[in-house]
């Protein structure tokens, strides 16, 4: 009898300790993320198939230090306007989404705002064509923008931004129903460059890369009238004294 009592006492003791540990973990998580997010996590844990959807539906936060970095940028560029930059981000991302949907760069081929990312976007679209993948974005809504980083070195200034947005997203790759018209909350990191002294570019010249929209060959001239040495296409001078998007990247896949 004493053995049985001892056995059950040990079992209940172990169970009690496990309950205490789990309670401490849940309390710690609750303090870090709040009750509503905790409920979302518990729900996702119960149904692993919805984890991706829960993460997709969670509105993301911008990552940035705008209040700290904006005065530094204005000190170097007195005409800098963050609102105008944010407008350009939204317009450019919408152009990118449309080009990806249509699997065509024809509408941005001669768009000076897109000249630095044209080659990368064109290659991505060619990959989609080769894989026969269709991607759709609809009901795009932008939420917040922030300046994430700023640096000025070797004749080139670079601003990195963070943008949160939502859209309904579809991706036909592998016929995956999980990516069929799902509402997605996401964040994009974009970079903008400004050439303030072309003579000091040095290795930065590779970052500020321009490709011929006609044949894709790299162009080595800046500012002056340009002619592609491969296909002889002529281009108007590029205004280097404007902030131009040099890259974009979605933070969440």
Domain layout of the chain by residue ranges: 2-51, 60-250
Q: Does domain 60-250 match CATH 2.60.120?
A: no
Q: How many CA atoms lie within 13 A of 61 on its CB side?
A: 3
Q: Which of 13-22, 59-68, 174-183 has the lowest mean pLDDT?
A: 174-183
Cα 103 to Cα 57, 94, 190: the distances in Å are 26, 14, 21
User: Are 82 and 65 within 8 A, CB to CB?
Assistant: no
Q: What is the pLDDT of residue 226?
A: 63
Rounded to two decimals, the pTM is 0.70
Residue 14, pLDDT score: 65
Structure tokens at 134: 């269709």
pLDDT at 181: 78
| Residue range 145-200, pLDDT digits in tens | 999 999 998 888 999 999 999 999 998 876 655 567 788 999 999 999 998 877 66
pLDDT-derived band at 45 (thresholds 50, 70, 90) equals low
Q: What is the mean pLDDT of the chain?
A: 80
Residue 213 is given by DSSP the state T
Distances (CA, A) of 56 to 36, 101, 165: 16, 20, 11
Per-residue pLDDT band for 211 (boundaries 50, 70, 90) equals low
Radius of gyration of the chain (CA): 25
What length does the chain have?
253
- Is the per-residue pLDDT at 47 higher than 80? no
Q: With cut-offs at 50, 70 and 90, classify the pLDDT of residue 85.
A: very high
């Amino acid at each position: 009898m004493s053995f049985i009592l001892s056995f059950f006492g040990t079992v209940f003791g172990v169970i009690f300790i496990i309950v205490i540990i789990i309670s401490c973990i849940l309390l710690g998580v609750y303090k870090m993320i709040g009750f509503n997010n905790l409920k979302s996590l518990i729900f996702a844990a119960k149904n692993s198939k919805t984890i991706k959807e829960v993460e997709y539906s969670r509105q993301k936060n911008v990552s940035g230090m705008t209040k700290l970095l904006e005065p530094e940028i204005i000190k170097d560029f007195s005409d800098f306007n963050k609102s105008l930059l944010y407008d350009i981000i939204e317009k450019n991302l919408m152009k990118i989404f449309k080009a990806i949907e249509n699997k065509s760069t024809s509408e941005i081929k001669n768009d000076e705002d897109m000249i630095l990312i044209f080659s990368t976007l064109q290659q991505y679209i060619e990959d989609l064509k080769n894989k026969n993948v269709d991607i759709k974005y609809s009901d795009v809504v932008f939420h917040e923008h922030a300046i994430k980083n700023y640096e000025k070195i070797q004749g080139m200034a670079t601003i990195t931004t963070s943008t949160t947005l939502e859209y309904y997203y579809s991706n036909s790759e592998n016929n995956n129903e999980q990516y069929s018209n799902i509402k997605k909350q996401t964040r994009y990191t974009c970079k903008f460059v400004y050439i303030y002294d072309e003579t000091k570019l040095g290795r930065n010249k590779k970052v500020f890369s321009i490709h011929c929209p006609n044949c894709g060959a790299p162009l080595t001239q800046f500012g002056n009238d340009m002619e592609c040495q491969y296909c002889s296409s002529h281009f108007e001078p590029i205004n280097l004294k404007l902030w131009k998007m040099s890259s974009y990247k979605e933070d969440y896949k």
